[in-house]
Amino acid sequence: MPHHKKNTVQDNLLPPSESRRSAVDARIPAYAGTGTAAAPPPSGRRERAQWLATELERHNVLYHTLDSPEINDEHYDLLFRELVSLEQRFPELQTPWSPTLRVGGAPLENLEKDAHTQQMYSLDNVFSVEEWREFVERMRRAAPRISPAFWCDPKLDGLALELVYENGVLTKALTRGDGHTGEVVTATARAIRSVPLRLLGQSRFPMLLEVRGEVVIFKKDFVALNARQAAAGEKVFANPRNAAAGALRRLDTTGLLPLRFLAYSLGSVVWGNDPPCAFHHELMQRLAAWGFATPPAGKLCDCPQKVEDYARTAQHDRKGLPMETDGIVAKLDNFADQRRLGFTARAPRFAVAFKFPTEQVETLLTGIEVQVGRTGVLTPVALLRPVAVGGVIVSRATLHNEDEIRARDIRIGDSVIVRRAGDVIPKVIGPVLAKRPPEAKEFVFPRSCPACGESVARDPHETAWRCGNLSCPAVRRERIIHFVSKAGLDIQGIGRKWIEQLWDAGLVRSPADLFAMTVEELKHFERMGQKLADNFTQALDTAKNNATLTKLVNALGIRHVGEQTARTLAKNFRNLDELAAADTVVLQPLPDIGPEVAESVVNFFANPANKEEIARLRDLGISPQGDAEPHPAGQTHFLCGKSVLFTGTLSISRAHAQALAESAGAVAASGISKKLDCLIAGENPGGKLVKAQQLGVTILDEKAFMALVTKDV
């Protein structure tokens, strides 16, 4: 554990570091027996192990969250090794929050997936003060009585992570994944020192607490990491975000990169006996008190104008922050107002990312290439003299379409301005006319498909030229690439490069061909070998087993059918055959499906080549049942194995409520006692409620209970 001082940036709400530290000190769970930091440590085996675990965690918080270590690395390692050795000899001494769990085991083959109890949303962006004002206006129109105070903090350029705490103990960590389902990375998360293994504090913790935040690598750690990688002849990472992504998903937690977790919001929470937070600023204080590091320089701005000031200052100060940021996030402070505004399919209506102006550079446009996409659209791509912008080297950028090139008067040989923001695709803004050489050449858009030679057509209402050849090789290849991509079945380790090679070798002509390949066929393939061929087929098997109808429908790449529509279709049909048989009369009444989408779906399934492909996929074992989703409260639901008791009148029948609880894995209790995990109280609850309060049993009202068991994952 390297000891280096962090640059702390003070925020204006949390107490200054000394008083914050003593506030946290008071909450660091003290060892209950004799031998605190001051008194001599205990000598009994069990007491010693508990003392070591408590002390080590205290030092973790002091070092990683509070920036004020009390002991050096050697001392820490000594205590750590003693605890490891004790736990190895007496495994019953290992608690679920033991700091020894922070060291991971061997790398895992494949990451398990699990559903988020609440969707992990993305954020909408605004790029200017004007757009920010429009966002506020929209919010005011939607909910005129909201109070326009915002919690602001920097937008961290890392990876979103959700940590699940049950009664204060970390039990699971999930990546964002597609927002609905994430990858289980509990072991990696435990190895991140700034992730509390149990919450600080002595009071009762929320029964369920999902803390969301960002995994980042500090800039200085990134520089050191790349220096080490280079010295060892290993891959150098393009930016901290890529390095963090690799580390988090790699699962080889031994020698883990210097990842850090910064908490900024919540997923599901059942407060139990802990008083709920009503404001975002209150939540940030609570997160810090529980032992989480939070984004630096967070601030409560009591009006939209102050958010503009905050954004300006943040942009000015960004170089001084320890981590990469690409903007600020402004979130409505009042949780009741947040609930009032709710979410779109993609993002909250109560929060927005206010992006810093993007980086622009100048470089040479050496040529223009035309690519054919999976829908047959021809896209011109700028070939650039390689240049660094926004943290990566860019040598290609989109030029969108023929009209764009003409409108901006972009010519081959021009010096052009290229812009890139965050992970957005680089874009050519326009030429530097003053530098145009006399030989600069206008680009003539091709009238035939560069892949198949068929003539291309342009719909009068569209800007794009399109190749309409159903068997155009480029279209077919791009469709396979889409099929294996994250938007499709998300087949690990198989991406554009491999598909292009397999395609060029003539081995694969459709997604079904991929699944039909054997290790024998694969291993003799160029640059493949036994190990990679094994991984390959294993990844295909995993994808096959994990395929849901939503993913498969999305993977097929039906025109106008994106993720959201795929989800709607999967909710309404039991399998692909049923969907294939649906006509527009059945499809059109479904949410988000208009005449154009309905017709596109019907056409897709009427096409004989598509029919054949679907039949082949079915024969290969890819025929997922409709996502009449497994009950959201699956095996890992926090009610699983808990005893519950109902009292008072609920708006649904007691039998129905009981059934919901049981399908979440709960067990019905016969009466009230200290052993009861949870009392669900309806209207006019009476004596049981009082008794439960006296015994300190967790109490849920009907709304909280229903939210928990009927969540739409």
Residue numbers annotated as active site? 155
- Angle, nearest 10°, between helix axes 129-142 and 304-317? 150
- Residue 502 labelled as part of a binding site: no
C-alpha–C-alpha distance, residues 698 and 676, integer Å: 8
Q: How far apart, in whole angstroms, are the C-alpha atoms of residue 285 and residue 264?
A: 11
φ, ψ (nearest 5 deg) of residue 174:
-130, 135
Question: Closer to ligand IVH at the Cβ: 189 or 533?
Answer: 189
Measured between alpha carbons, how far is 293 from 388 in angstroms, rounded to an integer?
Answer: 32
Phi–psi pair at 321, nearest 5 degrees: -80, 150
> Residue 491 corresponds to which tokens in the numbers above?
């087949």
Which pair of structure tokens corresponds to residue 546? 């994990």
Cβ count within 10 A of residue 515: 21
For residue 481, CA distances in Å to 352, 566, 599, 623 come to 32, 18, 24, 20
**Three-state secondary structure call for residue 267:** strand
Check whether 449 is labelled as a binding-site residue. yes
Query: Residue 18 burial (CB < 10 Å; 0-12/13-18/19+)?
Result: exposed
Decide if 324 contacts 159 (C-beta within 8 A). no
Task: Report whether 214 belongs to an annotated binding site.
Answer: yes
Footprint on this chain of ligand IVH (rule: CB under 6 A):
121-123, 153, 155-156, 160, 214, 264-265, 295, 329, 331, 348, 351, 353
In terms of Cβ atoms closer than 10 Å to its own Cβ (0-12, 13-18, 19+), residue 361 is middle
165 is in an annotated binding site: no
178 a known binding residue? no
Q: How far is the CB of 247 from ligand IVH (least distance, A)?
A: 17
CB of 343 vs ligand IVH, minimal distance in Å: 8
For residue 73, the tally of other CB atoms under 10 A from its CB is: 12
The annotation status of 77 as a binding-site residue, yes or no, is yes
Q: DSSP string covering 18-37, please?
A: HHHHHHHHHHS---SSS--S
Q: Report which DSSP code applies to 424.
A: S
Q: Would you say 513 is a known binding-site residue?
A: no
Token pair, residue 707, equals 């939210």
Closer of 98 and 175 to ligand IVH (Cβ): 175
Angle ∠(330,331,334) on CA atoms, nearest 5: 145
Residue 171, SS3 per DSSP? strand
Is 75 annotated to bind a ligand? Reply is: yes
Going by C-alpha positions, the residue among 253, 271, 257, 107 that lies closest to residue 205 is: 271
Do the annotations mark residue 560 as ligand-binding?
no
Residue 508 CB, nearest approach to ligand IVH (Å): 34
Single-letter amino acid code for the residue at 384: L
Closest approach of Cβ 406 to ligand IVH, in Å? 33
Closer by beta carbon to ligand IVH, 264 or else 646 = 264
Q: How far is the CB of 327 from ligand IVH (least distance, A)?
A: 8
**Would you say 123 is a known binding-site residue?**
yes
Nearest position to ligand IVH, beta carbon:
160
Contacting residues for 589 by C-beta, under 8 A, at least 6 apart: none
Q: Pick between residue 155 and residue 286 the one whose CB is nearest to ligand IVH.
A: 155
Tell me whether residue 11 or residue 627 sits nearer to ligand IVH (CB atom).
11
The Cα 236–Cα 258 span in angstroms is 15
Structural element, H or E, at residue 229:
helix 219-231
Please say which residue, 57 or 324, places its beta carbon nearer to ligand IVH.
324
- In whole angstroms, the minimum distance from the beta carbon of 220 to ligand IVH comes to 20
CA-CA-CA-CA torsion sign (220, 224, 225, 230):
positive
73 is in an annotated binding site: yes
Find the shortest distance in angstroms from Cβ 125 to ligand IVH.
8
Q: What is the separation of C-alpha 592 from the centre of its chain, rounded to a whole number of angstroms?
A: 24
Is 523 annotated to bind a ligand? Reply is: no
- Quote the least distance from Cβ 113 to ligand IVH, whole Å: 18
Residue 467 φ/ψ, nearest 5 degrees? -90, 120
Check the CA dihedral 574-575-581-584 and report its sign: positive
Nearer to ligand IVH (CB atom), residue 249 or residue 560: 249
Buried b (16+ CB within 10 A) or exposed e, 96-133: ebbbbbbebeeebebbebbbbbbbbbebebbeeeeebe
Q: Is 612 annotated in some ligand binding site?
A: no
d(CA 12, CA 281): 11
CB of 33 to ligand IVH, least distance (A): 40
| Least Å from the CB of residue 264 to ligand IVH | 4
User: How would DSSP label each residue in 619-658?
Assistant: HTT--PPP--PPPSS-TT-TTTT-EEEEESB-SS-HHHHH
Binding-site residues, in ranges, read 73-77, 122-123, 153, 176, 214, 331, 355, 449, 452, 467, 472
Binding-site residues for NAD(+), in ranges, read 73-77, 122-123, 153, 176, 214, 331, 355
Binding-site residues for Zn(2+), in ranges, read 449, 452, 467, 472
